[in-house]
């Protein structure tokens, strides 16, 4: 019998001063059986960073042709494709061919550094691509917001001048993402 996804309910309040975006989102996040709490929370952070009315979670790990998060326009064209982790170059190139904007949110410390060393040269040529890296400390701090057995989260996210603060009922953390590559404006 196949393992089922674990469902997390997250009430996310976003105050993004940089984009002038202020909203509350009631998210249902399915954690794939092979997914860690860290990866699930990085996906939630990605939602907070790029939240829009039509942003939705894709099938992610369950489907090769869908991202972790995406936004489509009314015609079905993909406006925004967001992947979390260390996708292979072929997948990223394919995403850049399908979407107007592609964002990769990496994490994992030395493994992410090695991934960037191996793929950075080829990826720098992709105009639609933005790559952001989270430090080991930042992704560990994200996991610290989740209590053992907790499946209902209440998170507040404040974004100002590129700084990110996330908090739950007990603690507040600061996330300082590193921009590895920025999409070309054009």
pLDDT surpasses 80 at 149: no
Helical axes 89-98 vs 110-123, angle rounded to 10°: 50
pLDDT surpasses 60 at 185: no
- Kindly state the average pLDDT of the residues 140-164: 91
What pLDDT digit, counting tens, does each position of 5-14 carry? 889 999 999 9
What is the domain partition of the chain in residue ranges? 6-181
Nearest to 7 by CA among 43, 33, 39, 45: 33
Distance, in Å, from the CA atom of 57 to the CA atom of 83, rounded to the nearest integer, reads 10
| Domain 6-181 fold | Restriction endonuclease-like alpha-beta roll fold (3.10.640)
CA angle 133, 124, 96 (to 5 degrees): 85
CA angle 109, 115, 119 (to 5 degrees): 150
Residue 46 Cα to chain centre, angstroms: 3
Residue 125 Cα to chain centre, angstroms: 22
3-state secondary structure the chain: CCCCCEEEEEEEEEEECCCCEEEEEEEEEEECCCCCHHHHHHHHHHHHHHCCCCCEECCHHHCCCCCCEEEECCCCCEEEEEEECCCCHHHHHHHHHHEEEEEEEECCCHHHHHHHHHHHHHHCCCCCEEEEECCHHHHHHHHHCCCCCCCEEEEEEEEECCEEEEECCCCEEEECCEEEECCCCC
At 186 the pLDDT is: 45
CA angle 29, 35, 40 (to 5 degrees): 40
Query: Could you tell me the pLDDT band of residue 33, with boundaries at 50, 70 and 90?
Result: confident
Q: Taking the model in full, what pTM does it have?
A: 0.93
């Amino acid at each position: 019998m196949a393992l089922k996804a674990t469902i997390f309910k997250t009430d996310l309040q976003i105050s993004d001063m940089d984009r002038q975006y202020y909203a509350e989102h009631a998210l249902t996040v399915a954690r794939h059986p092979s997914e860690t709490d860290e990866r699930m929370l990085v996906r939630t952070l990605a939602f907070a960073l790029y939240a829009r009315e039509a942003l939705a979670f894709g099938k992610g790990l369950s489907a090769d042709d869908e991202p972790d998060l995406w936004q489509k326009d009314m015609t079905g064209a993909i406006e925004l494709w967001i992947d979390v982790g260390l996708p292979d170059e072929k997948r990223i190139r394919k995403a850049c061919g399908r979407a107007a904007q592609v964002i990769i949110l990496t994490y994992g410390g030395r493994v992410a550094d090695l991934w960037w060393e191996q793929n950075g040269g080829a990826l720098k040529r992709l105009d639609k691509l933005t790559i952001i890296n989270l430090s080991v400390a930042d992704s560990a701090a994200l996991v610290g917001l989740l209590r053992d057995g907790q499946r209902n989260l209440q998170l507040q996210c404040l974004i100002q001048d590129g700084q990110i603060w996330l908090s739950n009922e007990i603690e507040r953390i600061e996330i300082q993402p590193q921009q590895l590559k920025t999409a070309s404006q054009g």
